[in-house]
Amino acid sequence: MPSLERAGTKVWQRRTSKQQFAIWFGWLIGAALFLYCWKFVSDATTWFFVWDAPRIAGDIGGRMIPPRWAYIDKLWVPLWDTLNIATLGTALAIVMAVPVAFLAARNTTPSTTLIRPVALLIIVSSRSINSLIWALLLVSIIGPGVLAGTIAIGLRSIGFMAKLLYEAIEEIDTTQVEAISATGASRWQVMAYGIAPQIAPAFAGITVFRWDINIRESTVLGLVGAGGIGLQLQASLNVLAWPQVTLILITILIAVLFSEWVSAKVRHAII
């Protein structure tokens, strides 16, 4: 128990003075790093605009209300597109993520030295790149539209779904798998009857969870031209039609809340 002699009596200390010093030094380094970074940001900022910010914020806020409710007529089709991007993208991701997950899980991969690292690399690459960047890439390859958005959502979701799924596969009960293989089942039969039933609830949960995230992400894909309600947002921002922007933001908010509600309900029913 570290203690300190002070005026003849021992005073309890939480840490030894060496630990105390190490922690203090750590904080010093952290504070210095933060100040350096802050200076960098500050140097790159035109502070005149920042001091003017409250006035501009008030100005934009004033222009945004009231929302232009009549504009909702033009939002139904983009909303439908947004729903399709998210749902079809999730379906596309399932098709690609399931094999990747089986190749990445330690207990089902054919080779831990050769194939598992490749599967893990696919997962990391897909997860590191935001769906907007995937969309940007696909728009420049296959042109603007809903298809680019769908594929972008699909590519982005592979990593997320495969990662959660392969973790579920690694945690399965091995005795069931052994029981199936003891009957003389082939590799595929073991997967179908020993592994698949065990991960089915996790799989359904992950799918719905990702669908919910995908609705959220597909609302903004239009900003880079990949279809959905984001296109309308971009168009309205370009012409500074702030009342329309307000309405679009409200619509997005409702869509996001709706998808969250659906996913919570479905997950509750499954698990």
Q: Total binding residues for another protein by CB under 8 A?
A: 57
With residue 119 as reference, give the H or E element that holds it.
Answer: helix 115-128
Q: What's the one-letter identity of residue 58?
A: G
Q: Token pair for residue 216?
A: 């959220």
CA separation for the pair 113, 110 (Å, rounded): 9
Number of other CB atoms surrounding residue 43 within 10 Å: 7
Q: Is 205 in the site for another protein (CB under 8 A)?
A: no
Q: How far is CA 154 from the centre of its chain?
A: 12
**32 is an interface residue for another protein by CB under 8 A:** no
At its nearest, how many Å lie between another protein and the CB of residue 38? 6
One-letter amino acid of 218: S
Minimum distance of another protein from residue 131's CB (angstroms): 9
Q: How far is the CB of 155 from another protein (least distance, A)?
A: 12
CA 35/CA 149 separation, integer angstroms: 40
CB of 209 to another protein, least distance (A): 15
Verify binding: residue 197, another protein, rule CB under 8 A: yes
- State the nearest-atom distance from the C-beta of 257 to another protein, in Å: 7
- Give 3 or 110: the residue with its C-beta nearer to another protein: 3
Peptide bond into 66 cis (omega under 30): yes
If one asks whether residue 80 binds another protein (CB under 8 A), the answer comes out as yes
> Which of 72, 74, 75, 87 lies at the binding interface for another protein (CB under 8 A)?
87
Contact region with another protein (CB under 8 A), list: 18-26, 106-114, 174-182, 192-200? 192-200
With a CB cutoff of 8 Å and minimum separation 6, the contacts of 38 are: none
Q: Which residue spans within the chain are E strands per DSSP?
A: 3-6, 9-12
**CA 94/CA 90 separation, integer angstroms:** 6
The footprint of another protein (CB under 8 A) covers 33-34, 37-38, 40-42, 44-46, 49-50, 53, 56-57, 60, 80-81, 83-84, 87-88, 91, 124-125, 127-130, 132-133, 136-137, 140-143, 145-147, 150, 193, 197, 200, 216-217, 219-220, 223-224, 233, 237, 249, 252-253, 256-257
